[in-house]
Chains A and B, each alone.
Chain A
């Protein structure tokens, strides 16, 4: 399967494709990172997971539609940067924190702020759990997996995109209320 087909397959929601790619390159990346950068197996694994998340999210956001090199080269290049971040003693490479980069860029270096952000993120995560389905799935599919209203309607058997749009708004209101009650 070519890289373009792989990307299209992942974009259409194929988890098995993602799993196959993840498993295909993992062992080699870990061995390479440990040998080349002297990191521990756990650090190498964390870097690989971060690399895979970026690969996945860029596909879902439409930022990655084709590769100039291979999937392996892409994963190794991103993974290498993650290893180097660890080596430089950059702030904790926490997967959830990166989501703040556009919104809270100017406050990134304040460790107290970062700690508060983490607490807030965990609070939202807990509130999402409390919401349950369908809100949990609608919000996650839209905001994280970047699925369109039409795709969600089809996947979750709703009448149309408009129905999903109204439901999403109600779910956000419920989430906001739950989080507010916890703070």
Chain B
């Protein structure tokens, strides 16, 4: 049989299997199958092949969809979890919105209380030192200048206090004065200057050192340098300073 005839016969079988023959042609085709077992066998074999090819195509499509699934699931994993609130909104309408807002407020209040701002912590833990026994006697001497600076400090005139302390002969400035200098800068938000003065206090001056470290930590907190503040308070916590208990307490809060 020539190839053209073969292709012609194949086309006819294909049309039958695809249901594309006319009613009359299909009836004749079935009659031919009933008379010729070999022909019937060929038709059935080709039918299985066509089904198998479709099956192959479907399997490829399913494999493609599995890839899309995993891509989408990965994308979903990366989405912020807050998006999970969306179905509530859709499901419960206005009440869902109200409930979601209440929940968000709850979260906000919860975290607000759990992690106070640096400003709140300063408000809670900072107590400005008052300089006791200040005298103005002996004007125009170093002592007088120092006294004026101390008065200015006590009167919360921190700029005048700083100017006064800085004009003093360095030999007249005690470590206690340096703590006050640091606190004056702290009050004016001169964070680096404040820390510079607190760092001048040597470790062997136990009382002033502990005090200076405590205020250094508060300065770092006020400057929102939280890691630095945590480190300073941790060092203080591990010392014998009278500020140790305060350091432990504040470390629990941020």
Contact = CB atoms under 8 A, between A and B. Distances in A.
B7 A49 contact: no
B104 interface: no
B189 to A, nearest CB: 51
Given A26-B72, A169-B10, A49 B62 contact: yes
A179 interface: yes
- Taking residues whose C-beta sits less than 8 angstroms from the other chain, chain B's interface range is 20 to 34
A145 B54 CA distance: 9
Contacts of B10: 169, 172
Interface in A82-133: 95-96, 99-100, 102-103, 117, 120-125, 127-128
A94 B246 CA distance: 69
A22 interface: yes
A172 B49 contact: yes
B49 A22 contact: no
A162 to B, nearest CB: 10
Chain A contact patch, size range:
35 or more
A23 B72 contact: yes
A139 B7 contact: no
Interface in B2-41: 3, 6-7, 10, 17, 19
B61 A56 contact: yes
B56 interface: yes
Contact of B58 (A99, A124, A172, A176): A99
B248 interface: no
Interface string A132-152: 000000011001110000000
A121 B55 contact: yes
B246 to A, nearest CB: 52
Interface in A1-48: 15, 19, 22-23, 26-27, 31, 45
A49 B65 contact: yes
B17 A140 contact: no
A53 interface: yes
B55 A140 contact: no
Interface of B is mostly: helix
A127 B58 CA distance: 16
B49 A125 contact: no
B50 interface: yes
A182 to B, nearest CB: 12
A181 B206 CA distance: 95
Interface string A146-170: 0000000000000000000110010
B68 interface: yes
A75 interface: no
B46 interface: yes
Contact of A128 (B3, B45, B56, B71): B56
A117 to B, nearest CB: 8
B46 A124 contact: no
Interface in B103-118: none
B147 to A, nearest CB: 75
A90 to B, nearest CB: 18
12 contacts: A31-B87, A49-B65, A95-B62, A125-B52, A127-B52, A128-B53, A140-B57, A143-B54, A143-B57, A144-B54, A169-B6, A175-B53
